Structure 1
Amino acid sequence: MLLKLQQIIVKPGQQMLLQDVSWEQLENILEEMGEKRAGRISYSHGWLEIMVPLPEHEKDKELIGDLVKILLEILQIDFEPFGSTTLKNERMRQAVEPDTSFYIQNYAAVIGKNRIDLTIDPPPDLAIEVDITSRTRFENYEILGVPELWRYTQQGLEISLLQQGKYIKSQSSPNFPDIPIVELVNEYVKQCLTIGRSQAIRNFRNWVKNNL
């Protein structure tokens, strides 16, 4: 007897791992889960992980995404935000959904697109993962060729840059050269928890305008 996806319950903060999932089954699962879903997926060579984030994960994701948008806008850098769109490449048997993602260098290639197919589209220039409960699968992003990956954990922000097919840790971001990104993100996420999101965002805008 085949299980239907709606029979499977994954609670916030939990993950479910399925093996021997074909590409066709993956596509069907994504369609059944729909666009506006709580769960995120990570798929590699038949292994499918479905994770449902906690509410605090969503708050951190939104805040960090907003900080990036503010930086790009004030610096007048063209970009296309793609949120947690599914990044997939059937040939590579890989799919992953970042918490948020941005096309910056390659923004012109995706103008007007709603979905990304990495067999024809370039990968996003920046993907962001908030790992409060789950472990980011770096291998997905490495294989798909995402040049810069940010991972925010309870210890703060980590930046990984793709070099010769593997991620190496970095203290700086090539998308934001000469800007102390790690310190900024850590500081304003912390401010959000103490003085609230609105004031933290205002403080960040003021810092960017006064210092850049």
Structure 2
Amino acid sequence: MLLKLQQIIVKPGQQMLLKDISWQQLENILEEMGEKRAARISYSHGWLEIMVPLPEHEKDKELIGDLVKILLEILQIDFEPFGSTTLKNERMLQAVEPDTSFYIQNQAAVIGKNRIDLNIDPPPDLAVEIDITSRTRFENYEILAVPELWRYTQQGLEIYLLQEGKYIKSQFSPNFPNIPIIELVNEYVQQCLTIGRSQAMRNFRNWVKNNL
């Protein structure tokens, strides 16, 4: 008996692992799941993981994404935000959905595109993963050659840079040189929790305008 995807329920904060999933099955599953969904996927050589984040995970994702957008906009750096779009490469049998992602140096290559195919498109310059309720799939991002990965945990922000195919932890972001990005993200995410998002974002805008 074949199960249909809508018969399977994954509760928030939990994961489901499926094995021996072909690329065509992956494509079918993604199509059936649709664009407007809470679940995230990662896929590698036949293994498919489906994860449903907790609400606090989604909140942190939005906050950090907004901080990045404010920074890029005030610094007048051109960018294309791609959110949780599926990054996939059939040739490498890899797919992953970051919590949010940005094209910065390569933004011109993806203007007007709604979907990304890493067989032909460059990977995003920056991907962000929130590790409050799920663990980051470093291997997916390494194989797909995403140059910079941010991982946010309960301890705060970590930056990883791709060097010779492996991620190396860094204190700095090449996309935001000479900016104390770890301290800024940690401080203003905390401000969001204490004084509310709106006031924290106003404070962040003011800091960027006054200091950069």
Normalised to the residue count of structure 2, the TM-score between the two structures is: 0.99
CA shift for structure 1 position 59: 0.6
Whole-angstrom CA distance in 2 between matches of 1:93 and 1:117: 12
User: Secondary structure at 1:139's aligned position in 2?
Assistant: helix
Whole-angstrom CA distance in 1 between matches of 2:51 and 2:200: 29
Write the deviation string for residues 15-67 of structure 1: whole angstroms up to 9, x where unpaired. Answer: 00111110000000000000001100000000000000111111100010000
CA shift for structure 1 position 116: 0.2
CA shift for structure 1 position 134: 0.8
CA shift for structure 1 position 171: 0.5
Write the deviation string for residues 172-199 of structure 1: whole angstroms up to 9, x where unpaired. Answer: 0000000000000000000000000000
Whole-angstrom CA distance in 1 between matches of 2:176 and 2:79: 13
CA shift for structure 1 position 107: 0.3
User: Secondary structure at 1:145's aligned position in 2?
Assistant: coil
CA shift for structure 1 position 165: 0.3
* Total equivalences in the alignment: 212
Whole-angstrom CA distance in 2 between matches of 1:112 and 1:139: 29
Write the deviation string for residues 140-166 of structure 1: whole angstroms up to 9, x where unpaired. Answer: 000000000000010100000000000
Whole-angstrom CA distance in 2 between matches of 1:38 and 1:25: 20
CA shift for structure 1 position 133: 1.0
CA shift for structure 1 position 4: 0.6
Normalised to the residue count of structure 1, the TM-score between the two structures is: 0.99
Q: CA-atom RMSD, angstroms?
A: 0.4
CA shift for structure 1 position 79: 0.4
Write the deviation string for residues 58-109 of structure 1: whole angstroms up to 9, x where unpaired. Answer: 1100010000000000000000000000000000000000000000000000
Whole-angstrom CA distance in 2 between matches of 1:93 and 1:208: 41
CA shift for structure 1 position 112: 0.4
CA shift for structure 1 position 210: 0.5
1:137 corresponds to: 137
User: Secondary structure at 1:168's aligned position in 2?
Assistant: strand
Whole-angstrom CA distance in 1 between matches of 2:203 and 2:15: 36
Q: Percent identity?
A: 92
For structure 2, list consecutive stretches of 5 or more residues without a partner in the other structure. none
For structure 1, list consecutive stretches of 5 or more residues without a partner in the other structure. none
